[in-house]
Structure 1
Amino acid sequence: MDVRSAMTPNPAACSADTPLHEVAKLMRDNDCGQIPVIDAAGHPVGVVTDRDIVVRLLADGRDANAACATDCMSSPAMTIEATRTLADACDLMEAQRVRRLPVVDADGRLCGMVAQADIALHGRDRETLEVVKQVSEPAHH
């Protein structure tokens, strides 16, 4: 099974200079916890997660109303091509300890999002359990 079969197509996205309150509205309106940040050509350059907003901005006492996506985004964006297998997505999520991946087309443009939940619904049970286990374990520093 390829990533395209499990991904959410045409996800909400923003640019690096999108005001952070607009990014938060995209999360609310699309019921998601991650918004890809794309350049003018549609290539992912980073992601903003709800956790990024809290940990990288609010926890430091910075003004969220004066911030934009670039102020708290994780970069570079870890992406996967739509034609890769769900097993490849699992391996990448495990290795990078992430729960969601922006999906890109052959030209590197954002075309979808794949999440642990998508793999749980479309993948094999063993794959799903391993991804959840590896991504959820605390990091050892």
Structure 2
Amino acid sequence: MKRVDEIMTKNPAYCLPEMGLVDVAELMLRYDCGEIPVVYSRTEKKIMGVITDRDICVRAVALGLNPLAMNVEQCMSYPPIVVKTFTDLNDCCQVMEDHQIKRVPVVDENENLCGMVSLADLTRNDEISLAAEVVKEISQPRAHHAPNKYLV
């Protein structure tokens, strides 16, 4: 079986927690993605969370907050769910299924961001049956999640 580092998107876009939501939305547009890992600093890319297009909608817009006045840290999802570069692809897909996520950041041996694995990466690498199984599992309804603790 393949490992994560064989199919991951290398050197993905990332953001810092103090970035504004407009800036991170522009990154999503520029890189055509719906999730951006949030790292502690540009030099040490340890992941503190992720921010998704859904996070912005659910944790800002839907609550009537002004996303133009908010930063990434106020909306991000945490703790981050990550996999290591050497993770078996089946195990990576199981993580995605267990957490109902479409993409997962990849960290190296020093816990620094080095890649992303998404459903698109699976399909581009002819892992269609794995992608289909992940989609099936993450599409199952789950209990409603409470809003991010920063907004309580």
Question: Identity of paired residues, percent?
Answer: 41
Query: Are 1:11 and 1:111, in contact at CA under 8 Å, matched by a contact in 2?
Result: yes
What is the TM-score normalised by the length of structure 1?
0.94
The AA in structure 2 aligned to 1:46 is G
What is the TM-score normalised by the length of structure 2?
0.88
Residue pairs, 1:69-108, within 5 angstroms: 69-108=72-111
1:13 paired with 2:8, answer no
Unpaired runs of 5+ residues, structure 2, are 145-152
C-alpha RMSD over aligned residues: 1.3
For 1:140 and 1:19, how far apart are their aligned partners in 2? Answer: 30
Q: Secondary structure at the match of 1:36?
A: strand
Post-superposition shift, 1:123? 5.1
Query: Are 1:86 and 1:123, in contact at CA under 8 Å, matched by a contact in 2?
Result: no
Q: Where does residue 65 of structure 2 map in the other structure?
A: 62
For 2:54 and 2:103, how far apart are their aligned partners in 1? Answer: 13
For 1:59 and 1:124, how far apart are their aligned partners in 2? Answer: 35
1:127 to 130, 138, 148: 130
Alignment size in residue pairs:
141
Unpaired runs of 5+ residues, structure 1, are none
Q: Where does residue 38 of structure 1 map in the other structure?
A: 39
Q: Where does residue 22 of structure 1 map in the other structure?
A: 23
Query: Are 1:3 and 1:89, in contact at CA under 8 Å, matched by a contact in 2?
Result: yes
Post-superposition shift, 1:68? 0.4
The AA in structure 2 aligned to 1:45 is M
Q: Where does residue 4 of structure 1 map in the other structure?
A: 5
For 1:135 and 1:70, how far apart are their aligned partners in 2? Answer: 25
CA shift digits 1:92-141 (9 cap, x unpaired): 00111100000100100000110012112325443222111101122156
